Amino acid sequence: MDDLKNIVPKCIEEDISFGDNIVTSIYKKAEEISNEVVTVNDSNHGRIERKIDNLLTSKIFGYPFMLILLGLVFWITIEGANVPSAMLADLLFGFEAKLTALFTSLNSPAWLHGLLILGIYRTLAWVVSVMLPPMAIFFPLFTLLEDLGYLPRVAFNLDNAFRKSGTHGKQALTMSMGFGCNAAGVIACRIIDSPRERLIAIITNNFVPCNGRFPTLIAISMIFLGLGSASKFSSVFASLSVVAMILIGIVVTLLVSKFLSVTFLKGVPSSFTLELPPYRKPQIGRILIRSLIDRTLFVLGRAVMVAAPAGAVTWLVSNIDIGGISLLAHLSGFLDPVGLLLGLDGIILMAFILGLPANEIVLPILIMAYMSKGAMLELDSLESLRELLIDNGWTFITGLNFMLFSLLHFPCGTTLLTIKKETNSKKWTLFTFVLTTSIAIIATFIINAIATLIGIV
């Protein structure tokens, strides 16, 4: 063995051209065989594709096209999700009334009805009716873009911006995966070779809103930005505001990446070659099946699993009295001072904290908590949700800050565990948690302070 170890470096030293010779021989042979067996009849092939690429990745049209496409996807999602959302809510809450009647006829104790129906069932009904329709529309659309081959073009467009932030252009791809699920986005960071750039991509992946947060963002944007304006354009405004949220997410990603690459993770960006894959005709049928089963139902299943216990906890917290005041009031009273500083309130913060296992359940918990405060209105439409929120002191700023906090705050439990696994370090996991939460707090605090100063609130 030692003999071998000695002889090899000696050979290489004597003539360093071995490696080159090997590589050139391989490439030459490949070319030779290819020339012998391949015939190309049409010299025009690929011309149209190249034209499309020049347009999609051009300096002038690249970004606008990207934004228009993104806006379109959200507009279809919002517009399409409205009706089925209301129908699902009608159906599920109608069933709730029947269940309640059943419990009454069986003379079941009030706490049992409360825990099972008002707690668990109602939260589940909210999760399903708020989340299922947008996901069932968004996921197939997103998968369509992925199958077409558009995602690498996005990476190409954003490469320059990322390089200026001292990071890797492939981060745009991992970000795109984050739209579906941040945990998947973090895993996708394996495509980045340099450890420094990989770490930055992992830490910042959370600033892309995942599907767990989309329905929340969409619902709130429709309430505070959509319905407020002329109803004909409400969904357009709502989708524009969701696009704006994503842009904020991208800008924050770039800023934080820049910040990290000049402070904690210093270094120069490494270069890479990004291959633009050919456009391929997507398989519509397969996309529908796969995105519905793999993504939509899976994500929904996870949300339901987390939502059931969370609903029970929320009901218990709001119905256990200590000294005549409910535990919920105690908790929200405790969090209120912080919440109000951020333009939110104690219950919102509590919903975010309880939503750590999965971001999907933040809004349902919030609704549950508000409703348990006595205002038992029939929540069957976004309009009544809007009334509930306004009754609880929500303003435009609360809506905006709620969306921002949702966009920027700590990653969900699964993502945190994945970060720990991928970085193999508790330190970086904690760092991500603290960094994202600090940014969320600072951003909402500043907006609230400005709004208070100029007297909007």
Partner 1 sequence: MGLTSQSSGFSLLKEKFEIQKKPNQKVIALAGNPNTGKSTLFNNLTGLNQHTGNWPGKTVTNAQGTFKYKDNDYLLVDLPGTYSLLANSVEEEVARDFICFGNPDITIVISDSTCLERNLNLVLQVLEITDNVIVCLNLMDEAKRKGITINIKKLKEKLGVPVIPMVARDGKGSKELLDTIDKMIKKEIKTTPYRLTYNKKTENIVNEIEKKLKNLIGNKLNTRWLSLRLIDGDKQILKSIDEIVKNNSLSKEEI
Residues that bind partner 1 (CB under 8 A): 1, 3-5, 7-8, 11-12, 15, 18-19, 21-23, 25-27, 29-31, 33-42, 44-46, 143, 146-149, 151-152, 170, 173, 177, 180-181, 183-184, 187-188, 190-191, 193, 274-275, 277-278, 280, 283, 290, 293-295, 298-299, 302, 414, 417-418, 421
Question: Minimum CB separation from partner 1 for residue 233, in Å?
Answer: 32
Rounded CA separation 395/379 (Å): 19
CA distances (Å), 136 to each of 281, 289, 319, 381, in order?
A: 21, 11, 35, 19
Question: Minimum CB separation from partner 1 for residue 429, in Å?
Answer: 14
Rounded CA separation 351/240 (Å): 26
| Nearer to partner 1 (CB atom), residue 163 or residue 302 | 302
| Nearer to partner 1 (CB atom), residue 1 or residue 376 | 1
Rounded CA separation 166/265 (Å): 10
| Nearer to partner 1 (CB atom), residue 21 or residue 104 | 21
What are 60's two structure tokens? 């002038």
| Nearer to partner 1 (CB atom), residue 3 or residue 378 | 3
In one letter, which amino acid is 50?
R
In one letter, which amino acid is 195?
P
Question: Minimum CB separation from partner 1 for residue 202, in Å?
Answer: 13
Q: Please list the residues that pair with 322 across neighbouring strands.
A: 325
Rounded CA separation 168/162 (Å): 6
| Nearer to partner 1 (CB atom), residue 20 or residue 321 | 20
Question: Minimum CB separation from partner 1 for residue 21, in Å?
Answer: 5
Q: Please list the residues that pair with 321 across neighbouring strands.
A: 326
CA distances (Å), 263 to each of 134, 159, 196, in order?
A: 39, 21, 12
Rounded CA separation 41/139 (Å): 39
Q: Report the half-sphere exposure of 353 (CA within 13 A, side-chain side).
A: 12
Question: Minimum CB separation from partner 1 for residue 302, in Å?
Answer: 5
Question: Minimum CB separation from partner 1 for residue 4, in Å?
Answer: 6
| Nearer to partner 1 (CB atom), residue 200 or residue 419 | 419
| Nearer to partner 1 (CB atom), residue 291 or residue 332 | 291
| Nearer to partner 1 (CB atom), residue 154 or residue 218 | 154
Tokens 């709004």 -> residue: 451
Question: Minimum CB separation from partner 1 for residue 234, in Å?
Answer: 30
| Nearer to partner 1 (CB atom), residue 291 or residue 448 | 291
| Nearer to partner 1 (CB atom), residue 78 or residue 183 | 183
Which of 207, 148, 146, 135 has its CA nearest to residue 175? 207
Which of 440, 388, 26, 454 has its CA nearest to residue 209? 440
Which residues have a Cβ under 8 Å from the Cβ of 69 and sit 6 or more positions away? Answer: 145, 150
In one letter, which amino acid is 172?
A
Question: Minimum CB separation from partner 1 for residue 78, in Å?
Answer: 21
The answer to whether 372 and 331 have CB atoms below 8 angstroms apart is: no
What are 299's two structure tokens? 């994500």
Question: Minimum CB separation from partner 1 for residue 46, in Å?
Answer: 6
Rounded CA separation 180/187 (Å): 12
The answer to whether 99 and 115 have CB atoms below 8 angstroms apart is: no
Question: Minimum CB separation from partner 1 for residue 281, in Å?
Answer: 9
